[in-house]
Structure 1
Amino acid sequence: MARIILVHGACHGAWCWRDVIPALQAEGHEVTALDMPGRGGGVAGLTLADQTDTILSAYEGRAVLVGHSAGGFSISAAAEAAPERVSRLIFVTALLPVDGEVLGRKMQGLKGTRAPVPLVVAPDRLSYSFDLSSAGEALYNGVSPEGIDWALTQVCNEPSDPHREPIRVGAAFASVPKSYVICTEDRMIPAVDQEAMAAGLSDVVRIATGHSPFLSTPAELAGHLSRMAA
């Protein structure tokens, strides 16, 4: 069985994997869900290197890194820094970068139709969050009303600086095997854009759900992650 590190996306935390962790553990995997640095905002100067350090310091030896949404940049930076410590990258409706891309610009350049979810920038301009009055159905379509209500209470401010930084990935990143879980009903990262990012990968699966399969279809997602990790 595998050691699996779960990395959340923007404005989320380790909490979002609540329903996936026990399903993976039941299959015998060693599972750790992480909080990236700066949850809640107010921290200046954070970088992708800080995210890399958080990931690589969470385990010894090698692990499978799973990234959701913006977490695709986080796990990619870690793989570039230490490919010998990453046995596989799994992108869950996530941003799969190419060298020099900036996360914020990559989101703005997506081709598919996206839900209009305004961002709320903190007064110190060091972080942002989603406008929670309209974000629920965009972030969590397919999740139960109770699940949406719970998730919205957990959403926090996301540090802006790493999302303005060009990522550097090259041969080290390219050497790590990759898998992709496409969510066909995603309203944040449209399926057409996921398909484009996953093009060329040999291990791609599709789930008929929205942007947050860890809450809408946790058992199905865990099944795919378990197979990919093994």
Structure 2
Amino acid sequence: MIPTFVFVHGSGSSAHAWSATQREMAARGHRTLALDLPGRGAGFTQAYHEQDLETFAAEPSAASGLTADDFTGEVVDAVQRVRHHGPVVLVAHSFGGLPVTAAANAIPELIDRVVYVAAQCPVERHPGEYPALPEWSSSDVFGAVAPLMIGDPARQGFVRTNWRGADRARRVALRDAIAGELTEEEFLRVVVTSQPDEVFWPTDPTWDSRADKDSWGRIPRTFVKLTKDRSMPLAAQELYIAEADALTPDNPFDVRELESSHAGFFPKPGPLAGILDDLSVRAAAGSR
């Protein structure tokens, strides 16, 4: 049977990020679904577009009321719906690894493979603790994004980022951290669709979505390492892999590599689609 690939985006992103990947996969004969996680569009207000920063800073956010269960539920619901049509391959990028891991803990029997594309895969600690580890120390993303943040996320209960307020120097820093191989014009298309508001999860105990050995651990899994990633350093990606493999040594990650930055593969999806194309054969075979 033909599998369905369910794509889950990262922080500050949306289903739109997967558009080129979906086109490439469709051209190869695959069925796909890209999710919008809860809160997409929050912060896209008149004040944000007009850069009325005083008004924008004072506006409430739908992201402040969202929970980990809201995010996990969105993934679970999607998997349950498409499972009626055959095998399911769940693909996560970056922060998307958290709700995907939680969903895999909840419904392992409905998922034929999980694919982490430089995605968070917490095993030994709360996901918010990983960025403080030495393996994350070379990340450029926190310093690049911090000047664009509005307010205190811990006090507000959500993260608000003024992507449109990035001047040329800050855009260069962002591009270097997130997608260094893109031209400035290509990166502007990323910035214009980036989500201003995001859920604040790093210190929230309800976001403790560690992989469970007896449920998540039963599912075949692939980790796609992004070898030029300056947001989630290669050492951090390899830590997730090592912890997961230690948890379930009889079901280790199938590890692949892409010569890409954290988001540079999105507009050039051929290599990732090639990996997923190969995995689709395994998913279809496993469902027979």
**TM-score normalised according to structure 2 size:** 0.73
Aligned match of 2:257 in 206, 220, 228? 206
Change in Cα spacing, 1:185 to 1:216, as seen in structure 2 (3 Å) is farther
Contact 1:10 1:158 in 2 (8 A): yes
Deviation (angstroms), 1:178: 0.7
- Distance between the aligned counterparts of 1:126 and 1:75, measured in 2? 21
For 1:3-82, what aligned pairs fall within 5 Å after superposition? 3-39=4-40, 40=42, 42-43=61-62, 44-58=64-78, 59-61=81-83, 62-82=87-107
SS of the aligned residue for 1:217 comes to: coil
- Secondary structure at the aligned position of 2:187 is classed as helix
Q: Secondary structure of 2:129's match?
A: helix
Which has the larger displacement, 193-202 or 120-129?
120-129
Tell me which moved more, 70-79 or 210-219.
Answer: 210-219
3-state SS, counterpart of residue 161 of structure 2: strand
Distance 1:78 1:202, change over 3 A: closer
Following superposition, the deviation at residue 48 of structure 1 comes to: 2.2
- CA distance, structure 2, for counterparts of residue 213 and residue 99 of structure 1: 29
Query: Which residue does 2:200 correspond to in 1?
Result: 160
Give the direction of change, closer, same or farther, for the CA distance of 1:226–1:64 in structure 2 (3 Å limit).
same
Residues 97 and 227 (structure 1), Cα distance of their counterparts in 2 relative to 1, 3 Å cut: same
Are the structure 2 counterparts of residues 31 and 110 from structure 1 closer, same or farther at C-alpha, using a change threshold of 3 Å? farther
Displacement of 1:25: 1.2
Q: 2:218 and 2:162 mapped to 1: Cα distance? A: 35
Q: Percent identity among equivalent residues?
A: 28
- The change in CA–CA distance for 1:14 and 1:181 in structure 2 (over 3 A counts) is same
Mapped to 1, the partners of 2:254 and 2:114 lie a distance apart of: 11
Cα–Cα, structure 1 residues 222 and 110, in superposed 2: closer, same or farther, change >3 Å? farther
Trace 1:143-222 onto structure 2 (pairs within 5 A).
143-156=182-195, 157-161=197-201, 164=204, 165-170=207-212, 171-199=214-242, 200=245, 201-215=252-266, 217-222=268-273
Q: Which has the higher strand share?
A: 1
Deviation track 1:7-37 (CA, whole Å, cap 9, x = no partner) reads 0000000111121001111222110111100
- Which deviations, in whole Å up to 9, do the C-alpha atoms of 1:127-163 show, x marking residues without a partner? 2337643422211112233220100111112111477
SS of the residue aligned with 1:10?
Answer: coil
Q: Deviations over 1:138-191 (max 9, x none)?
A: 111122332201001111121114773212432111111110110111001001
* Residue in structure 2 matching 1:86, options 101, 107, 111: 111
Change (3 A) 1:226 1:121: farther
Give secondary structure in 2 for the equivalent of 1:98: coil
TM-score normalised over the length of structure 1: 0.90
CA shift in 2, pair 1:122/1:6, >3 Å: farther
Unaligned runs of 5+ in 2: 44-60, 246-251, 282-288
**How far off its partner does 1:215 sit?**
2.3
1:153/1:65 CA distance change after superposition, 3 Å: same
The answer to whether 1:105 aligns with 2:129 is: yes
Q: 1:185 is paired with a residue of what secondary structure?
A: coil
Q: Would you say 1:139 and 2:178 are equivalent positions? A: yes
Larger Rg, first or second structure (1 or 2): 2
Query: Which structure's residues are more often helix, by fraction?
Result: 2
Alignment partner of 2:113: what SS? strand
For 2:29 and 2:203, how far apart are their aligned partners in 1?
35
- 2:55 maps to none
Is 1:114 matched with 2:139?
A: yes
Coordinate RMSD, CA, aligned: 2.2
Instruction: Look up the match of 1:2.
Output: 3
Aligned residues, how many?
Answer: 229
Is 1:226 aligned with 2:239?
no
